[in-house]
Amino acid sequence: MDLQEIIGFAWKNISHRKTRSFLTVLGIVIGIASIVILVALAQGLDKDIRASLNKLGSNFVLVLPGQASITSSTSFVPILRGILTDKDVNVVSRVPGVDSVSGSLSYPLAGIRFKKYNATATISGVNADTYDKFITAGYEGGKFFEKGDKSSVVIGYTIANDYFDEKIQVGNQLYINGRPFRVSGIIKQVGQGVGNIDKLIAIDQDAARDLFPGVLAKDRVSAILALTNPDMDSAAIGQEIKEKLANKRKVKLDNLDFTIITAASIQEQVGEITGILTLFLGAVAAISLVVGSIGIANSMFTSVLERTRDIGILKSVGAPNSAVMLLFLAESVMLSVIGGAVGIALGAVVCALISAVGNISTVVSPELIGGSFIVAILVGGASGYFPARQASKLPAVVALRRE
Amino acid sequence: MDIAEIINFSLKNVLHRKLRSFLTILGIVVGIATIVILLSLSLGIEASIVDSVQSLGSNYVMVLPTTSLQSGTFNKVLYTKDADALRRLPGVDAVAGEILVSNAPIQFRRKITAGNVAGSEIDVYVKYTNASGVTFRDGGYFRSGDKSSIVIGSKVADEYFDDKVYVGNSILINNRSFRVSGIFNKSSGAISDLDDTILMEATALRELFPSAVPKDQVFDIFITVSPKADPEAVAKDVTTTLARRRKVDPDKPDFTVMTAASTLEQIRQVTGILSVFLGFVALIALVVGAIGISNAMFTSVMERTKDIGIMKAVGAPNNQILQMFLIESVLVSGIGGLIGIIIGSAISLLVSALVTKTVLNAEVLVGAMSVSLFFGAVSGYFPAKQASKLPAVVALRRD
Inspect the interface and report whether the beta carbons of B102 and A107 lie closer than 8 Å.
yes
ipTM: 0.73
> pLDDT grade, residue B45 (50/70/90)?
confident
Provide, rounded to the nearest whole percent, the portion of chain B with pLDDT above 90: 35
> pLDDT grade, residue A69 (50/70/90)?
low
For residue B312, the model assigns a pLDDT of 86
- Rounded-to-integer distance, Cα A258 and Cα A64, Å: 6
> B308 near B387, Cβ under 8 Å?
yes
Which chain A residues contact residue B280 at CB under 8 A?
Answer: none
pLDDT value at B191 more than 60: no
Could you tell me which of B280, B334, B30, B379 has the C-alpha nearest to residue A291? B30
Alpha helix stretches (DSSP H) within chain B: 3-16, 18-54, 80-86, 122-131, 154-159, 202-208, 231-246, 260-303, 305-313, 318-354, 362-389, 392-397
Which chain B residues contact residue A301 at CB under 8 A?
Answer: 19-20, 23
Could you tell me which of B171, B182, B186, B110 has the C-alpha nearest to residue B143? B182
C-alpha gyration radius of chain B: 33
Q: Which of B164-168, B305-309, B325-329, B391-395 has the highest mean pLDDT?
A: B164-168
Inspect the interface and report whether the beta carbons of B281 and A76 lie closer than 8 Å.
no
**Which among B101, B208, B291 has the least Cβ separation from residue A26?**
B291
pLDDT value at A75 more than 60: no
Q: What is the pLDDT of residues A90-136, one digit of tens each?
A: 999 999 989 888 888 888 888 899 998 888 888 899 988 888 888 87
Inspect the interface and report whether the beta carbons of B105 and A301 lie closer than 8 Å.
no
Round the average pLDDT of chain B to a whole number and report it. Answer: 86
**Chain A interface includes B116 (CB < 8 A):** yes
**Which among B23, B116, B281 has the least Cβ separation from residue A77?**
B116
For residue A198, the model assigns a pLDDT of 86
- Rounded-to-integer distance, Cα A98 and Cα A240, Å: 10
Inspect the interface and report whether the beta carbons of B100 and A109 lie closer than 8 Å.
yes
pLDDT value at A71 more than 80: no
For residue A172, the model assigns a pLDDT of 94
For residue B173, the model assigns a pLDDT of 93
pLDDT value at A57 more than 80: no
Return the minimum-mean-pLDDT range out of A186-190, B39-43, B58-62. B58-62
Provide, rounded to the nearest whole percent, the portion of chain A with pLDDT above 70: 95
> B149 near B181, Cβ under 8 Å?
yes
> A292 near A28, Cβ under 8 Å?
yes
> pLDDT grade, residue A348 (50/70/90)?
very high
Distance from CA of B15 to the nearest CA of A (A): 15
From A214, which residue of chain B is nearest by alpha-carbon distance? B174
pLDDT value at A73 more than 80: no
For residue B251, the model assigns a pLDDT of 87
- Rounded-to-integer distance, Cα A64 and Cα A92, Å: 12
Q: Please state the length of chain A.
A: 403
Chain A contact probe: residue of B29, B75, B351 with most A CBs at under 10 A: B75
For residue B36, the model assigns a pLDDT of 93
> pLDDT grade, residue A192 (50/70/90)?
low
Q: What is the pLDDT of residues B79-115, one digit of tens each?
A: 999 999 998 899 998 898 889 888 888 999 988 888 8
For residue A193, the model assigns a pLDDT of 55
**Which among B30, B114, B174 has the least Cβ separation from residue A291?**
B30
pLDDT value at A72 more than 70: no
Which chain A residues contact residue B191 at CB under 8 A?
Answer: 74
Read off the pLDDT of each residue in A216-243 and give the average, rounded to a whole number.
87
Inspect the interface and report whether the beta carbons of A79 and B75 lie closer than 8 Å.
no
- Rounded-to-integer distance, Cα B51 and Cα B275, Å: 18
Chain B contact probe: residue of A288, A309, A336, A385 with most B CBs at under 10 A: A288
Inspect the interface and report whether the beta carbons of B38 and A111 lie closer than 8 Å.
no
Q: What is the pLDDT of residues A213-228, one digit of tens each?
A: 877 777 888 889 888 8
Which residue type, as a one-letter code, is found at position B15? L
Read off the pLDDT of each residue in A149-163 and give the average, rounded to a whole number.
92
Report helix, strand or coil for B45. helix
For residue B172, the model assigns a pLDDT of 94
Which chain A residues contact residue B73 at CB under 8 A?
Answer: 199
Distance from CA of A162 to the nearest CA of B (A): 11
From A281, which residue of chain B is nearest by alpha-carbon distance? B281
Q: What is the pLDDT of residues A360-395, one digit of tens each?
A: 889 999 999 999 999 999 999 999 998 998 888 888
> B95 near B222, Cβ under 8 Å?
yes
Provide, rounded to the nearest whole percent, the portion of chain A with pLDDT above 90: 33
For residue A402, the model assigns a pLDDT of 67
Inspect the interface and report whether the beta carbons of A81 and B113 lie closer than 8 Å.
yes
Query: Which sign does the torsion angle of CA B39, B40, B41, B47 carry?
Result: positive
Residues 6+ apart with CB under 8 A from B233: B91
> B108 near B171, Cβ under 8 Å?
yes
From B212, which residue of chain A is nearest by alpha-carbon distance? A212
For residue A353, the model assigns a pLDDT of 93
pLDDT value at A342 more than 90: yes
**DSSP for residue B255:** S
Read off the pLDDT of each residue in A74-103 and give the average, rounded to a whole number.
79
Which chain A residues contact residue B65 at CB under 8 A?
Answer: 120
Round the average pLDDT of chain A to a whole number and report it. Answer: 86
Which chain A residues contact residue B217 at CB under 8 A?
Answer: 111, 118
**Binding-face residues of B in 1-30 toward A, CB within 8 A:** 19-20, 23-24, 26-27, 30
From A282, which residue of chain B is nearest by alpha-carbon distance? B281
**Chain A interface includes B103 (CB < 8 A):** yes
Chain A contact probe: residue of B45, B270, B295 with most A CBs at under 10 A: B295
Q: What is the pLDDT of residues B346-381, one digit of tens each?
A: 999 999 999 888 999 899 999 999 999 999 999 999
> pLDDT grade, residue A29 (50/70/90)?
very high
> A119 near A113, Cβ under 8 Å?
yes
Prediction pTM value: 0.75
pLDDT value at B297 more than 60: yes
For residue B389, the model assigns a pLDDT of 85
> A308 near B308, Cβ under 8 Å?
no
Measured N-to-C along each axis, helices A3-16 and A321-358 cross at an angle, to the nearest 10 degrees, of: 60
